[in-house]
Amino acid sequence: MQSCFPSLILLLSTGPLFHWNWNRIPCLFQYKHTYAAGVSLLCCGCGQLRQGCQNRIEDKGDEFVKHKLLMILLACSLAGCGFTGTEDTADKTDDDRTADVAGEGSLAKDAESGEKTADQNREKAQENKDEKQIPAAAGEVVISGDGSPATIAGVPIVNKKYGVSPDYAPGEDPTAAAAARELIAAMQSQGLDVSDSWSGFRSYEYQSELYNGYVASSGQEAADTFSARPGFSEHQTGLAFDLKHASGALLENPAEAQWLLDHAHEYGFIVRYQEGWESITGYMAEPWHIRYVGDIAEDIHARNIPLETYLGAEGGDYR
Ligand SMILES: [Zn+2]
């Protein structure tokens, strides 16, 4: 209310302009005493100015002009009160206060107001997403004490920042495996070249063998771009599958790779490592590697973003 005070003063100080009209504006009559009290309090040099203004208006005898002035002043007062009232309800940052003190003008306030609206829109969008049970970027990070993967909003995340302990060995996730079988059957029904066999769950020990083999043949720097160090493989969760062509080679032909990009989400999967995402996922593109995430696959696919971005999880290289 404090910031309404200048507006009230303005309203009261304009009283003389419509003093003549009290009895013709019944809805304002109740404020007459308030007005009188206000004028008494404001009895100062400004009184002369107001009186002069009143006289000039009355001299002109133009009631239309008086009426217009009254409406404009009332509108200004109410608008001013409303504007400052809105500001009062918003949380102010230190920057806001600085701007107010410095009096940086209405453009800054307009911009600030616009930002607040945008923020509100984003919050609303976030709320809508939450209603659809989609993990929020601000979801709580849970690092499990039992060596299982960290989860964000219930979604397990394993990358070069989020690891799992050596003895975490859940085996193949049955729901994910069933979905993978459905996906493969769908591909095969369309004549696509995909094998019934895949590379799914990998134990810590097996990942160690694989990774060490790649380091021996390609060097560690190269190996880190396409193979996870033991304890950091998504395959250890039982939720990741490397699909293959009938030949046994990893699935990478354009027709099959594109089908996965277009349809994997229909089976609860995302193509986890894609071109352009290397700095976030930590790996080169792997068209064959699909990760089961369930219902949220639809939304991740629609937004076309890495899992890390979707969950608000840290990505990139090892620490
Ligand atoms: Zn893989």
| 84 and 194 assigned to the same domain | no
Distance (Å) from CA 249 to ligand 1 centroid: 13
- Report the first-to-last Cα separation within the chain, whole angstroms: 52
Domain-located, residue 59 = yes
Residue 108 lies in a domain: no
Cα 236 to ligand 1 centre (Å): 10
Look up the domain containing 68 and give its range: 2-90
Q: Are residues 178 and 255 in the same domain?
A: yes
- What's the confidence (pLDDT) of residue 77? 45
Write down which residue in 69, 90, 111 finishes a domain: 90
CA of 246 to the centre of ligand 1 (A): 17
CA of 292 to the centre of ligand 1 (A): 12
* Residue 245 alpha carbon to ligand 1 centre in Å: 14
What integer pLDDT is reported at residue 146 of this predicted model? 78
Cβ–Cβ under 8 Å, residues 293 and 269:
yes
Task: Looking at the structure, tell me whether residues 155 and 262 fall in a common domain.
Answer: yes
* 82 plus 203 within the same structural domain: no
pTM above 0.75, yes or no: no
Structural domains counted in the chain: 2
Crossing angle for the helix pair 63-89 and 5-13, to the nearest 10 degrees: 170
What spacing in Å lies between the alpha carbon of 287 and ligand 1's midpoint? 9
Q: Is residue 193 part of a domain?
A: yes
| Ligand 1 midpoint to CA 234 (Å) | 7
- Tell me how far the alpha carbon of residue 258 lies from the centroid of ligand 1, in angstroms: 17
Q: How far, in Å, are 160, 174, 199, 289 from residue 284 at the CA level?
A: 13, 28, 18, 11
**Is 304 found in the same domain as 161?**
yes
Check whether residue 177 and residue 81 sit in a common domain: no
Residue whose token pair is 């799992």: 164
280 CA from centroid of ligand 1 (Å) = 16
Tell whether 306 and 237 lie within a shared domain: yes
CA dihedral 145, 150, 152, 156 (to 10 degrees): -130
- For residue 303, report the distance from its CA to the centre of ligand 1, in Å: 22
Residues 169 and 56 occupy one common structural domain: no
DSSP per-residue letters across 129-159: HHHTTPPPTTPPEE--TTSPPEEETTEEE-S
CA of 145 to the centre of ligand 1 (A): 25
The per-residue DSSP string of 22-68 comes to: GGG-HHHHTTHHHHHHHHHHT-STHHHHHHHHHHHHHHHT-HHHHHH
Sheet containing strand 155-157, edge to edge, reads: 141-142, 150-152, 155-157
- CATH (domain of 280): 3.30.1380.10
How far away, in angstroms, is 108 Cα from ligand 1 center? Answer: 51
Instruction: Answer whether 229's CB lies under 8 Å from 293's CB.
Output: no
User: Ligand 1 centre from 208 Cα, in Å?
Assistant: 14
Q: What is the DSSP letter of 93?
A: P
The answer to whether residue 123 sits within a structural domain is no
> What is the distance in A from the centroid of ligand 1 to the CA of 224?
13
Q: What is the pLDDT of residue 144?
A: 66
pLDDT at 189: 98
On whether both 295 and 162 belong to a single domain, the answer is: yes
Sequential pLDDT tens for the chain (319 residues): 444 444 444 444 444 444 444 444 433 334 444 444 443 434 333 444 344 434 444 444 445 444 553 444 444 344 444 433 333 333 333 333 323 323 333 333 333 344 444 444 344 334 433 433 333 344 444 456 678 999 999 999 999 999 999 999 999 999 999 999 999 999 999 999 999 999 999 999 999 999 999 999 999 999 999 999 999 999 999 999 999 999 999 999 999 999 999 999 999 999 999 999 999 999 999 999 999 999 999 999 999 999 999 999 999 999 8
How close is the Cα of 153 to the center of ligand 1, in Å? 23
Pair (147, 80) in one structural domain? no
Q: How far is the CA of 124 from the centre of ligand 1 (A)?
A: 36
CA dist., res. 88 & res. 39, Å (int): 27
- Indicate if 80 and 148 belong to the same structural domain: no
